[in-house]
Chains A and B, each alone.
Chain A
Amino acid sequence: MLGVGILKGLTETARNFVGSYFRKDRLTTIQFPEERAPRIEASRNFPFLVYDGPDAMAGLRCVSCFICEKECPPKCIIIDKSTDKKPDATGKLQFYPAEFKIDVSVCMSCQICVEVCPFDAIKMDTDFELSTQNRFDDLLWPKLRLAKSNEYYHEIHPTEAAAVDADLAAARAKAAPKPAAPVAPVAAAAAPEKGTTA
């Protein structure tokens, strides 16, 4: 009969209305600035530079090989190669980026820089709260802003970071001669002083 469906619908909405006051699990909205949803591991937005050890500038894995700069489809990466060599986190002398900039207004988050990097030096971030007060100045990020620690990388992409660490360890074990194995951690610890003096 006409109207029965309407009455059924009215009871359903009434149940939802009353239920939302008594059962917290009905309200799935996250009140954003106060509450946050857990970060999604598979998400990505802009690249960042990974560093090992405590000092960001000394521990950068990047050796400024320019592969990412050349591969970047919208050409948003700008690298200045250093003239000298500095020991990296493992103590090996390497070139380093004197300047490494990413224009995030141009970056299209394609992850190609991450795919092509042979040193696992650049990875994708998940931080999305990037609004700025200024239209132009805050969008060209220097390497100081881009550098984030390996611990942070473990935090946002745990599975991926563990795989990368295992690969790096395997590669170092294969490349280094026998006495090198105990040297690595010592060099890593010594790196900051060398970095600051250089």
Chain B
Amino acid sequence: MTPDTVDQIFVISKHWLLGYVPAMLQPLASAVLSVVPVLLAFPLLFAITTVLERKGLGRIQNRYGPNRVGPAGFFQFAADGIKSLTKEDVVPRDADQVVHFLAPLLLVIAAFLAYAVLPIGRNMVVANLDAGLLYFFAVGSMVELAVFMAGWSSHSKYSLLGAMRAVAQMISYEVPLVLASIVVVMASGSLSTVAIVEAQAGYTATLPHWYVFTPWGFAGFILFMIAATAESNRSPFDLPEGESEIIAGYYIEYSGFKFALFFLGEYLGMFATSALAITLFLGGWAAPFSFMTWIPSYVWFFVKLLALIVFFIWIRGTLPRLRMDQLMGMAWKFMLPMTLLNLFTAAVWHFLPNPLLRWPVCTALVVVPFVVLSRSMKQGKTLQVRTYRYAE
């Protein structure tokens, strides 16, 4: 088999299987054959990620992490899954039964729908929409609805507080998330995720044309990842589910497999936004060096996805939770100006064809506002010994 055959093995086998289906049923069969692997692969990745996350966080804190089920505790996810399936499904008496039931389903469905436009490999995308990026963000904003449904229908103050925090946070960070990805649309001239990946597919010498290797692309990638962390409610932006004050936030009244579905939905959302970051800035399924193109495209996609997941875990093990005002201040005083300036930088990059000129100009356009903004955010925030008026 040539490397090309290995690369296209899933596409070829899908067409081979479709040959046995009557022509009338082929559109349906094609959809099923595209969707089912996605429905299998990403929950499996979720299962592996939960184990990796617990082991990684454990090692960061000088603990072993789970090490009882299977070799080195690797099958912990099976034990967790069986446990959550066998647990009692408690629904509060005052809860809105229907909405309470629908919220976790909607969250998972919204997360899964986003995978439709993510190119997992060469010619491997469920639906190549012309407005794929728009579709992704439209579907992604369904998550807020699911979160608020969960918080409202539970009829609990902690749920409602958590849901309100989550919705405020997600809507605030949706703005920089979209603005950070617009620079890519400006550069590639397309909203289609497949076209965006193909626009980054070339190589200069051995180095790829990924957007992350430009000043605006690098800034955009960092801003996108910060916004994606906040979007997926992960540490350090995990205050909607802050265990110490509102216990688990909007899903406190959920138990058993519905609780597991919330976890699944959150992780699927994290994978989807990571996959979008890969698509937009890290060249999608493209190899990082031209001499490594013989490795199949889907392998590169999952390697990049795992790398981003590891980074998410690393960040979670490092940073403490932000306060609500810090969170909002970060979104509106830092992220928003930086993303807006980044749009300008991308435009300058486009209209200055001379590389000797555009590199220093665009780098300065990213670095100078960053320094100025971070200085101004620090103003008047010197640490001092706290003095008490009455409690001394």
Contact between A2 and B59 (Cβ–Cβ < 8 Å)?
no
Is residue B341 within 8 Å, beta carbon to beta carbon, of the partner chain?
Answer: no
Does A29 reach chain B (CB closer than 8 Å)? yes
Q: Does A14 contact B (CB under 8 A)?
A: yes
A21 to B64, CA, bound (A): 10
Interface residues of A in 55-78 (CB under 8 A from B): none
Contact B374 A2 (CB under 8 A): yes
Interface contact B374-A3, CB-CB below 8 Å? yes
Residue A105 at the B interface, CB < 8 A?
no
Complex interface: chain B residues within 8 A of A13 (CB): 60, 314, 317-318
In whole Å, how far is A4's beta carbon from the nearest beta carbon of chain B?
A: 9
Beta-carbon contacts under 8 Å, B298-344 to A:
314-315, 317-319, 334
CB–CB A10/B62 < 8 A: no
Determine the distance from Cα of A132 to Cα of B374 in the docked complex, in whole angstroms: 61
Contacts of B375 in A (CB 8 A): 1
Contact of A21 among B59, B374, B377 (CB under 8 A): B59
Interface flag for A16 (CB, 8 Å):
yes
Least distance between B248 CB and chain A CB atoms (Å): 24
Q: Is the CB of B371 within 8 A of A16?
A: no
8 Å CB interface, A1-42 against B: 1-3, 6, 9-10, 12-14, 16-17, 19-21, 26-29, 31
Residue of B nearest to A5 (CB): B319
For chain B, give the interface size range: 20 to 34
Tell yes or no: B26 within 8 A of A by CB: no
Tell me whether B95 is interfacial, beta carbon within 8 Å: no
Instruction: Please classify the interface of chain A as helix (H, G, I), strand (E, B), loop, or mixed, using the class held by over half of its residues.
Output: helix
B157 close to chain A: CB less than 8 A = no
With A2-B374, A2-B377, A10-B314 in contact, is A16–B334 under 8 Å at CB? no
Contact with A along B46-61 (1 / 0, CB 8 A): 0000000000100111
A29 to B370 CA separation, bound complex (whole angstroms): 43
Nearest-CB distance from B280 to chain A (Å)?
A: 21
Taking chain B's interface residues, is the majority helix, strand, or loop, or is none over half, making it mixed?
A: helix
Which B175-198 residues have a C-beta within 8 angstroms of A?
Answer: none
B373 at the interface (CB under 8 A from A): yes
| Candidates A9, A16, A31; contact of B62 at CB < 8 Å | A16
Q: How far is the CA of A9 from the CA of B318 in the complex (A)?
A: 6
Please give, as numbers and ranges, the residues of chain A lying within 8 Å of B56 by CB-CB distance.
Answer: 17
A74 shortest CB reach to chain B, Å: 35
* Band of interface residues on A: 10 to 19
Measured in the bound complex, the distance between the Cα atoms of B318 and A16 in whole Å is: 11
Give the residues in chain A near B374, CB-CB below 8 Å: 1-3
- The answer to whether A14 and B314 touch across the interface, beta carbons within 8 angstroms, is yes
Contact A27 B64 (CB under 8 A): yes
Chain A residue at minimal CB-CB distance from B375:
A1
CB of B63 within 8 Å of the partner chain = yes
B332 to chain A, nearest CB (A): 15
Contact: B59 with A20, CB < 8 Å?
A: yes
Q: Report the minimum CB–CB distance from A175 to chain B (whole Å).
A: 57
Instruction: Write out the residue numbers on chain B whose beta carbons fall within 8 Å of the beta carbon of A20.
Output: 59-60, 62-63
List residues of chain A with CB within 8 A of the CB of B315.
10
B61 touches which of A2, A16, A21 (Cβ 8 Å): A16
B371 to chain A, nearest CB (A): 6
Provide the residues of chain B in CB contact with A1, threshold 8 Å.
370-371, 374-375
Which residues on the B side are within 8 Å of A26 (C-beta)? 62
Give the docked Cα–Cα distance between A10 and B314 (Å): 7
A2 / chain B contacts, CB cutoff of 8 Å: 334, 370, 373-374, 377-378
Give the residue name and chain of the A residue nearest to B236 (CB).
A6
Chain B residues with CB below 8 A from A10, complex form: 314-315, 318
Contacts of A31 in B (CB 8 A): 64, 67
Measured between beta carbons, the chain A residues less than 8 angstroms from B373 are 2
Which residue of chain B lies nearest to A21 when distances are taken between CB atoms in the complex?
Answer: B59
Q: How far is the CA of A3 from the CA of B338 in the complex (A)?
A: 14
The reply to whether B63 and A16 form a contact with Cβ atoms under 8 Å apart is no
Known: A1-B371, A2-B373. 12 other contacts (CB 8 A): A1-B370, A1-B375, A2-B378, A13-B314, A16-B61, A17-B56, A20-B62, A20-B63, A27-B62, A27-B64, A28-B62, A31-B64
8 contacting pairs across A/B (C-beta < 8 A):
A2-B334, A2-B373, A2-B378, A10-B314, A12-B318, A17-B56, A17-B59, A17-B60
